[in-house]
Structure 1
Amino acid sequence: MGIVLSRVSNSCRKVSREPANTCPKVSSICNSTDSDYSSITPIRTKVCEPEELLVPALPEKTRVERGYVTPQQVYNLLNAEAGQPALHDPYYILILDCRSAERYKQSHLVTARASVTVIHPELGCLISCVQLQEFSIILLYAEEGCSPVGSVEARADSPGLQHCFFQLSALGMDPVILQGGFSAFHALYPFLCTPHMVLLEPERQTLTIYPSEILEGALYQGSASQAADYRIIKNLHITHVVNATADCPDVFPSTLRYLRLHLSDDAQQDLVEALPLASRFISAALRGEPAGRVLVHCSLGRSRSSALTLAFLMEHRCWSLLHAVRWLKERRACTAPNVNFLRQLLSYEEQLFGSRLTSLDDIRL
């Protein structure tokens, strides 16, 4: 599956430097309903280079047992988009619920099948290897657990899951297991669990596709249509929205705080003011009391929103543009800022760190 596992590094150090002598003047392009930003009006303002340089940090890798994927990874897999939502394809992911039939009927991951309909404890595999090979991903889960695959603990905790895992492996498949099981996933994403069977393509077409989760329980990136869906906003507990579209309205101004950036996805769009404004807005929201949850969106959630998310990850996680791009692509595969935005992000990286750490060839998407 090519999944890279990592977690946020909170260490971000700065080194002092002399303030820049000159500050270019640019036109303001935003307004906001957030009280911290209500003073921003469409007048000419100054954007100065920071007085301190950031020291680059690396995203820290987290330990996940071999054969496992985290609930957050599964969330992003279920909501992956590549032209069209991947979950609408019946051969995108095969999810096997290895719990009892009773627990399956009560609730299960959306599109999951009871494992006995594919791998029977006594009869073995009930569908052909050719059919199995048509699936891009095969995911298994029990009620809970994350012991090493094949260990005594794992065999005792979830014998049905272990049987399925090794049966599929023997058939040449490469299944993965949900870390923490159904209970861990349901605790975070109950809205992606259901008592109903959803298997066929027409049924899948009715499923809601959620924004990608970039920082767990904190930062999301998606499309304008997702930002206008109140069910999505409510289920993800979104409190702040960065609207990077040229003409899509702020849909819930009475209940959410918005930063509106009128941006176009073209070769002429200047991001010199938008990048630090969005970065500051996101940071203030996530550091609030209580901490907020932010959705960054443009029309399709690929180019403009990606540029703003990358700027935040560079400035507030102290990651180079290259590491920020890798992090974002792992969580939102359809990430695709245009070349103009990439060049401006390279300049922003140099402004933050004092030198270019990334080349355009490294990040051309």
Structure 2
Amino acid sequence: MKCWWEHLMHLPDDLSEMGVVLSRVNNSYTAASGEPVNTVQTVSSISNREVNSTDSEHSSVIPIQSKVCEPEEVLIPALPEVACMERGYVTPQQVYNLLNAEEGQPALYDPYYILVLDCRSADRYKDSHVVTARASVTVIHPALGCLISCIELQKYCIILLYAEYGCSPVGSVKARADAPDLQRCFFQLSDLGMDPVILLGGFSAFHALYPFLCTPRMVLVEPERHMLTIYPSEILEGALYQGSATQASDYRIIKNLHITHVVNATANCPNAFPNTLCYLRLRLTDDGQQDLVEALPLASRFINAALKADPAGRVLVHCSMGRSRSSALTLAFLMQHRQWSLLHALRWLKERRACTAPNLNFLRQLITYEEQLFGSRLTSLDDIRR
């Protein structure tokens, strides 16, 4: 599937002062004159011009302008909408990001990162469970009590419990009737000084969204964990993802997440599936000299168009490690199309991808971009560093 986006084309000099009509012919494009036009979608150092397009079934019109990225109107800052949830619960999307968290290396490789307890029947556990989950009776036994010492339990960063279904408040009569084993585990762990959390909607809700993170196999020890596939972080539910070049080149990941569009922000990694996915290639370097003045609005428009398409696409933004360049582009989109300040966008992103770390040069340019979008500076470097 070739992409209709042609925003980043390097046009010949004699076309620089006019709109160019491009027609799709045998997976290539020609100008109105019939002469071939270079359609490589890359940006390294782009001249100061803004490229827009309107697509039809067969063509794209690309007017060339002399100025870059001046917003049509000043945006009004908005606050991210945060779902109201009872304390002690986590959503399936939060669990997805916990299982795929990276900080130096994938957190799931650490056997003491997360203890997942399946509080369903033994048969349901054997049929399928969340990856790395243990049957709850192997830890909290109805008759024998806790089979793992408190010292051992305290080594875990997170203790997650789930039943088959369940959204009832912890300790309620309905919760005790619907998932007695989960309630027993929750209160026994709490009595031991632990702070367990419960998967909202249970296994059924998680499996409906992320069946590829469910398995009949027991995965407990560290060597087995190192064999697990680590997925990109989910920034907007079922819509926007951020990750590494390695993840972007793994077709199983692309297929399981139903990715349709990719923003490739690496300097040297080629587009992995150019005949299948729609790409925006931005040749960026992660250093103090890289100029993002054109990359930020181009990436924002590309992501927004993909998410607003009918049917809606799913976008993966990646650089080499998924920390700096990709974060800058994701933040620009959240600022421009969610109307969040840089500070709110950064907090949102870090909650979903803990390894987010745009370099200082990018942060300064994002602050300038924020001022362009909103008409005033809303975030300072001191705000970000707090």
Q: Give the TM-score taking structure 1 as reference length.
A: 0.89
Look up the match of 1:119.
140
CA distance in 1, matches of 2:91, 2:381: 31
SS at 1:259's partner residue?
Answer: strand
Measured on the aligned residues, the alpha-carbon RMSD in Å equals 2.2
What is the 5 A alignment of 1:281-292? 281-292=302-313
Identity of aligned residues (%): 81
From 303, 311, 330, give the equivalent of 2:324.
303
State yes or no: 1:27 paired with 2:15: no
AA of the residue aligned to 2:233:
S
What is the 5 A alignment of 1:120-159? 120-159=141-180
AA of the residue aligned to 2:208:
A
AA of the residue aligned to 2:288:
A
What is the 5 A alignment of 1:74-89? 74-89=95-110
Deviation of 1:30 (Å): 12
User: Please, which moves more after superposition, 289-298 or 144-153?
Assistant: 144-153
SS at 1:241's partner residue?
Answer: strand
CA distance in 2, matches of 1:320, 1:66: 27
Look up the match of 2:236.
215
CA distance in 2, matches of 1:272, 1:184: 41
From 333, 336, 339, give the equivalent of 2:354.
333
Identify if the C-alpha distance between structure 1 residues 362 and 217 changes in structure 2 by more than 3 Å, giving closer, same or farther.
same
How many residue pairs get matched? 339
Asked if the contact 1:26/1:46 (under 8 Å) is kept, the reply is no
Deviation digits for residues 102-141 of structure 1 (CA, Å, limit 9, x no counterpart):
0000000000000000000111100100000000000000
Deviation of 1:49 (Å): 1.3
Asked if the contact 2:48/2:68 (under 8 Å) is kept, the reply is no
What is the 5 A alignment of 1:44-59? 46-59=67-80
Deviation digits for residues 62-95 of structure 1 (CA, Å, limit 9, x no counterpart):
1112210000000000000000000001000000
Deviation of 1:46 (Å): 2.7
AA of the residue aligned to 1:210:
Y
User: Please, which moves more after superposition, 53-62 or 272-281?
Assistant: 53-62
From 78, 85, 92, give the equivalent of 2:113.
92
AA of the residue aligned to 1:27:
S
AA of the residue aligned to 1:179:
L
AA of the residue aligned to 2:153:
L
SS at 1:275's partner residue?
Answer: helix
CA distance in 1, matches of 2:50, 2:368: 21
From 181, 184, 198, give the equivalent of 1:163.
184
Structure 1 residue ranges, 4+ long, deviating more than 4 angstroms after superposition: 28-31, 34-41
Deviation digits for residues 239-291 of structure 1 (CA, Å, limit 9, x no counterpart):
00000000100010101000000000000000000000000000000000000
CA distance in 2, matches of 1:38, 1:200: 53
AA of the residue aligned to 1:260:
R
SS at 2:304's partner residue?
Answer: helix
Look up the match of 2:258.
237
Look up the match of 2:11.
none
Look up the match of 1:318.
339
Look up the match of 2:131.
110
SS at 1:99's partner residue?
Answer: coil
Asked if the contact 1:30/1:260 (under 8 Å) is kept, the reply is no
Which protein shows a greater Rg? 2
SS at 1:102's partner residue?
Answer: helix
CA distance in 2, matches of 1:132, 1:298: 37
Look up the match of 1:357.
378
CA distance in 2, matches of 1:258, 1:52: 28
Asked if the contact 2:334/2:345 (under 8 Å) is kept, the reply is yes
Asked if the contact 1:66/1:149 (under 8 Å) is kept, the reply is no
Q: Give the TM-score taking structure 2 as reference length.
A: 0.84
Structure 2, gaps ≥5 residues long: 1-44
CA distance in 1, matches of 2:261, 2:209: 19
From 279, 283, 287, give the equivalent of 1:258.
279
Asked if the contact 1:27/1:44 (under 8 Å) is kept, the reply is no
Asked if the contact 1:222/1:297 (under 8 Å) is kept, the reply is yes
Deviation of 1:292 (Å): 0.2
CA distance in 1, matches of 2:49, 2:171: 57
Asked if the contact 1:244/1:263 (under 8 Å) is kept, the reply is yes
